[in-house]
Structure 1
Amino acid sequence: MSSNDVFWFRIAETIYASFAASDFIDFNWQDYVGYDAGVEIKLKARNVSYEMDGKKDFKEYSEIPARFIHSKGDAVALAPGGWRPLAFIPNGAIVLFDKNAFGTIKKHIDKSGTPVENSIQVVVDLFQKREITIDPKPILLEGNNRFDKRLPSLEEMQEELGFFTGKMQERVPNLTIRATADSLPQLHRASSAFFQGLDEILEFIDEMYRRYESGEKFDQTLTSFKEVVGLARGANVKEVHLIFAAIVFKAISGEKHNPTLRLLKFNKPDFLARGNSFNGALDIYSLILFLSEIRNHGENVFFVTADKDLIYLWNDMNKFMMVDDQPGVLHFDMMYFLPCLHQDEVAELESLMNG
């Protein structure tokens, strides 16, 4: 269901501002940097009502200075248009959860459901008083298989769901958990089908890391893009998975320590030993899952995570992703991967990606 929430603020002793949840404009990457550093950022919204001493004013667009109190490492909500603090998740929302986001709940609410000392009230209220549905798909797909480099089995998913549901019900007994034992076989089948050829994806990512680590250079040109896609095909990466080749290209051809490279952990010297290729592939898949949920639920779906690299990547790439009504189809503006692409090269690039 959609939300009819209204966000209401006192911005000075006698000045109040309010706007509907649907008029909130999601934060961007630069906002996240300020939020993370604890400095002032601007709340941006449409159709803002102001009230002062009984007099009312209205602005079609407004920016309200704000500084947010939050604990270091707390999760935020990825949104269709960017990201937002948890307090801005509206009633009726579908909220995807990953494993590290559960740490935010434990940090603020104990096993008896009591707010812990120094907890942040808006976080407690979100999970204990608001009407939201938690969808733990990303948690169920993570498993504990980083070093095995495999997706969890159906039995492992069922065990993880039981563990997650039990822990959540201790702290937030009124929340609705969307995944059930009956729905897991469908999720497992869909994930297994998408990741048929996972070994080839991981082999390709590992090989591209070795090349990057050895100092091999890839510039942001169609020629280099073709080379990377050719290496992916040479590793038997399936056509449907060439998006992974494009994302790896973005990582190794962009500026140093760009968000895509950081997500894949190519900036870490122990990349191979820690099995980071599996984690990177799964994070990318989590974002694809999120896009699928946006298709199903529109603007009222959010992805709660405390993974800073995932937050940076979503901020970097979400405006280049397009959702439509074709299930299983992901559309990307290829300018994300090749910002200097010429118009006469677009058809050649699309042909390359479509096999």
Structure 2
Amino acid sequence: MEQEVGRNLLGKLVVSGKTIDSFDIAPNSFADMTTMNSTDAVTVRLFDIVSYMFEKDTKIELSVKNLHKNDVFLLVFGGWIPCSFIKNNTILLADRNIVSEIVSRYQNGKKKKDKPADAFDSIFLNNKVSLDITAFVLEGNEMKIPDNGMIDEQVASVTKSLKTALPNLNITKYPNGNGYYYMFRDMLAETILKRMGFLQNVASKLNKQFTEKSREAAVKLVFCSAEELQLQKSDIAVLLALLRITMVGKKTAAQLVLKDSQVYSEVDSYNAVCDLSAIELLVNMHNFHVGNRTGYNVAFITKDKGLSLFSSLLSNTTVTGSNDGNLNVRASITGEVFDNDPVLVQMYEDWFAGKI
């Protein structure tokens, strides 16, 4: 039975009339998202609940109607959660499409259209989040790695637009100002270019329906191109390409992110790489705030269905260590996305184990 979920005037979660001061939530999976996209409903699991209305150590499992089906997705480390269950003190990484939604929806802190408040409004009208514009600034308007001048222009423009829409919105600021975005750009630039080159090499050749024979040839192409561009075997761009080959069905998560075509441009590759960088930014920021016990939660909000599905594939995520400034992250991918092809699965296992 579906239960009513909302927020009170203080921004606290209210479930079936009972107010919850704080809580933790188990991330939902890829299977949960595909189910939600077809039924509008999703099962949510809450724990570490703090509320005088619930006994200590109470755990809640409830079915809720997701009012943002195919519209807005909230990605977290290890999966995703419905927008209604965003936690207070969240640093919210915003996709460009979310910034556009905020600007078009609000004016001077109020909705432009007289419509009932929804879960999106509960996020941005209760002022309990800090909006991080890093992903927005990195992608830019010109679909290429931004220089310092482009970054400065983007930060000034988006800040003005957001403050016009929501004057009280907290936009995340860093001690070194725009220097933070310069540093982030410099840290990613080489990897971005390598991934772009890799995707431009393989994407047009993956724009097909695969047979058992053609799959093996495509996988070997991906392996060769990854080695040519000196990408790590487990690089997220390599994983995207391999999943494009093996995921079953039309318009799969991998295909929606890659957006492969017979004529695959530099802009296409840049868009896809920025999407992948957003997932990595989410993981890195989560690890930083957990490791430093800052008390902040981290989430990424987007209207991109493909990116959301792809990110939700990476379940049971754990950080296993770091190497040369890069995090080593282990994640499980549900077996239901693969066709019944044990030869191909063995090729993948050998590749990631370094046997190929």
Instruction: Tell me, in whole angstroms, the C-alpha distance in 1 between the residues paired with 2:15 and 2:316.
Output: 32
Q: Look up the equivalent residue of 1:44 and give its one-letter code.
A: R
Contact 2:139–2:145 (CA under 8 A) maintained in structure 1? yes
User: 1:331 Cα deviation (Å)?
Assistant: 2.2
Task: Report 1:18-37 matches (<5 A).
Answer: 19=20, 21-36=22-37
User: 1:186 Cα deviation (Å)?
Assistant: 3.5
Corresponding residue for residue 5 of structure 2: none
Q: Look up the equivalent residue of 1:190 and give its one-letter code.
A: F
2:99 is paired with a residue whose SS is helix
User: 1:153 Cα deviation (Å)?
Assistant: 1.1
Task: Report 1:305-316 matches (<5 A).
Answer: 305-316=302-313
Corresponding residue for residue 322 of structure 1: 318
Corresponding residue for residue 270 of structure 2: 278
Corresponding residue for residue 3 of structure 2: none
User: 1:183 Cα deviation (Å)?
Assistant: 3.1
User: 1:39 Cα deviation (Å)?
Assistant: 2.9
Is 1:64 the counterpart of 2:75? The answer is no
Decide whether aligned partners of structure 1 residues 50 and 44 sit closer, same or farther in structure 2, where only a CA change above 3 A counts.
Answer: same
User: 1:141 Cα deviation (Å)?
Assistant: 0.6
- Percentage identity across aligned positions? 17
Contact 1:201–1:237 (CA under 8 A) maintained in structure 2? no
2:190 is paired with a residue whose SS is coil
User: 1:278 Cα deviation (Å)?
Assistant: 1.5
Instruction: Tell me, in whole angstroms, the C-alpha distance in 2 between the residues paired with 1:73 and 1:165.
Output: 27
Superposition CA RMSD, Å:
3.9
Corresponding residue for residue 9 of structure 1: 15
Decide whether aligned partners of structure 1 residues 97 and 233 sit closer, same or farther in structure 2, where only a CA change above 3 A counts.
Answer: same
Contact 2:30–2:313 (CA under 8 A) maintained in structure 1? yes
Instruction: Tell me, in whole angstroms, the C-alpha distance in 2 between the residues paired with 1:178 and 1:219.
Output: 50
Q: Look up the equivalent residue of 2:43 and give its one-letter code.
A: K
1:174 is paired with a residue whose SS is coil
Instruction: Tell me, in whole angstroms, the C-alpha distance in 2 between the residues paired with 1:313 and 1:60.
Output: 32
Which structure 1 segments of 5+ residues have no match? 11-15
Corresponding residue for residue 230 of structure 2: 237
Corresponding residue for residue 13 of structure 1: none
Decide whether aligned partners of structure 1 residues 80 and 254 sit closer, same or farther in structure 2, where only a CA change above 3 A counts.
Answer: same
Decide whether aligned partners of structure 1 residues 345 and 172 sit closer, same or farther in structure 2, where only a CA change above 3 A counts.
Answer: closer
Corresponding residue for residue 126 of structure 1: 123
The higher-RCO structure (CA 8 Å, 6+ apart) is 2
* CA deviation profile, 1:271-322 (whole Å, cap 9, x unmatched): 52583221111111111111110111237111111111111111112x1543
User: For 1:114, which of 105, 110, 114 is the aligned residue?
Assistant: 110
Instruction: Tell me, in whole angstroms, the C-alpha distance in 2 between the residues paired with 1:232 and 1:179.
Output: 36
Q: Look up the equivalent residue of 1:201 and give its one-letter code.
A: R
1:163 is paired with a residue whose SS is helix
Decide whether aligned partners of structure 1 residues 217 and 47 sit closer, same or farther in structure 2, where only a CA change above 3 A counts.
Answer: same
Instruction: Tell me, in whole angstroms, the C-alpha distance in 1 between the residues paired with 2:233 and 2:187.
Output: 11
Contact 1:94–1:300 (CA under 8 A) maintained in structure 2? yes
Contact 1:48–1:58 (CA under 8 A) maintained in structure 2? yes
1:301 is paired with a residue whose SS is strand
* CA deviation profile, 1:20-69 (whole Å, cap 9, x unmatched): 64332333334434544563333322367999xxx977884433232243
Q: Look up the equivalent residue of 1:7 and give its one-letter code.
A: L
Corresponding residue for residue 162 of structure 1: 156
Corresponding residue for residue 197 of structure 2: 203
Task: Report 1:201-280 matches (<5 A).
Answer: 201-213=195-207, 228-234=222-228, 236-239=229-232, 242-256=235-249, 257-266=251-260, 269=261, 272-273=264-265, 275-280=267-272
Instruction: Tell me, in whole angstroms, the C-alpha distance in 1 between the residues paired with 2:265 and 2:345.
Output: 39
1:323 is paired with a residue whose SS is strand
Task: Report 1:130-145 matches (<5 A).
Answer: 130-145=127-142
Number of residue pairs matched?
Answer: 333
User: For 1:294, which of 257, 274, 286 is the aligned residue?
Assistant: 286
Instruction: Tell me, in whole angstroms, the C-alpha distance in 2 between the residues paired with 1:173 and 1:222.
Output: 54
Contact 1:46–1:60 (CA under 8 A) maintained in structure 2? yes
Which of 84-93 and 189-198 deviates more?
189-198
1:330 is paired with a residue whose SS is strand
Contact 2:203–2:258 (CA under 8 A) maintained in structure 1? no
Corresponding residue for residue 94 of structure 1: 91
Contact 1:320–1:336 (CA under 8 A) maintained in structure 2? no
Which of 82-91 and 162-171 deviates more?
82-91
Instruction: Tell me, in whole angstroms, the C-alpha distance in 2 between the residues paired with 1:131 and 1:226.
Output: 48
Contact 2:174–2:180 (CA under 8 A) maintained in structure 1? no
Instruction: Tell me, in whole angstroms, the C-alpha distance in 2 between the residues paired with 1:98 and 1:260.
Output: 18
Contact 2:27–2:79 (CA under 8 A) maintained in structure 1? yes
* CA deviation profile, 1:163-219 (whole Å, cap 9, x unmatched): 111111112222221145943324323333333164443232122122223667677
Contact 2:95–2:301 (CA under 8 A) maintained in structure 1? yes
